[in-house]
Amino acid sequence: MPKTKRKSKAISPKTRWAIKAYVTQGYSANKIQKQLKKQGLGIQRKKLLSEVRKLKNQKPKANPQKYTPKKYRRRVTPKARKPVYSGKHIAVYRYATTWRYKKIAKKLEIPKTYSARFEFYGNGRELAQAVRLSLSGIVPRWEDPFVECHAKDFLSDPYKFGEKGFWVDKPNIES
């Protein structure tokens, strides 16, 4: 069942007037609360104490959380974690080739491989996933062989940055 927020009741003018009267008479907070209860004007003790302090021109209690038992302390929702990046990138590099490039290379009579490189940045999990994806056989396109991108962007659409192909060893050129 979802928790509903408790509505905070404002102190009625009648109660406020009664409190003011009791404070001027020099009543203690306990006594005031008893008197109010008798008259059917009972209010929450926390509100009564803050009202009394206001009337006595006292400073609000410093660090009230300190005196509240842990189980009654207001729960603070943990802040959303900000992604932390060191300025470092993971470089995934080697020679690469694709079927499309092989055809072009054959036509133009140029080497069948090209030097390719991905540079990923992001948090650890995204980096790990991006590297694994690139290891599985996605290589940068030969038109844009040096790709620097956020690992998250690469994971969301890997074919925007590369295409299916192979990472290959340094070509042995025999003439």
Partner 1 sequence: MINQISKADPILGITDRFTVKIDFDEIDFKTTKYWADLTLKKFKLGGYVMLKSSKKCYHVIFDSYVSWEENLSIIAWVSILSKNLSLLRYLAMQCIKMSSTLRVAPKGEKPSPRIVYRFGCQDHAIKDFLDFRQLIKRIHRHGKNKNKA
Residues in contact with partner 1 by CB under 8 A are: 86-94, 96-97, 111-113, 119, 124, 127-128, 131-132, 134-136, 146, 166-169, 171-175
Question: Of the two residues 55 and 168, which places its CB atom closer to partner 1 in the complex?
Answer: 168
Nearer to partner 1 among residue 43 and residue 151 (C-beta): 151
Least Cβ distance, residue 163 to partner 1 (angstroms): 15
- Complex with partner 1: residue 27 or 85, whichever CB lies closer: 85
Q: Would you call 49 exposed, middle or buried from its count of C-beta atoms within 10 A (0-12, 13-18, 19+)?
A: middle
Question: For residue 131, what are the contacts with CB-CB under 8 A and spacing of at least 6?
Answer: 90, 92, 120
Residue among 156 and 172 whose Cβ is closer to partner 1:
172
Query: Shortest Cβ distance from residue 48 to partner 1 (Å)?
Result: 55
Q: How far is the CB of 86 from partner 1 (least distance, A)?
A: 6
* Shorter beta-carbon distance to partner 1: residue 80 or 173: 173
d(CA 92, CA 127): 11
Least distance to partner 1 from the beta carbon of 154, Å? 14
What is the DSSP code string of 134-159? HHTTEEE-TTS-EEEEEHHHHHH-HH
* Cα separation values, 116 from 119, 144, 158, Å: 10, 9, 15
Instruction: Confirm if 151 and 85 have CB atoms less than 8 A apart.
Output: no
Neighbours of 138 (CB within 10 A): 21
- Closest listed residue to residue 143, CA positions, set 104, 89, 94: 104
What's the min distance (Å) between Cβ of 127 and partner 1? 7
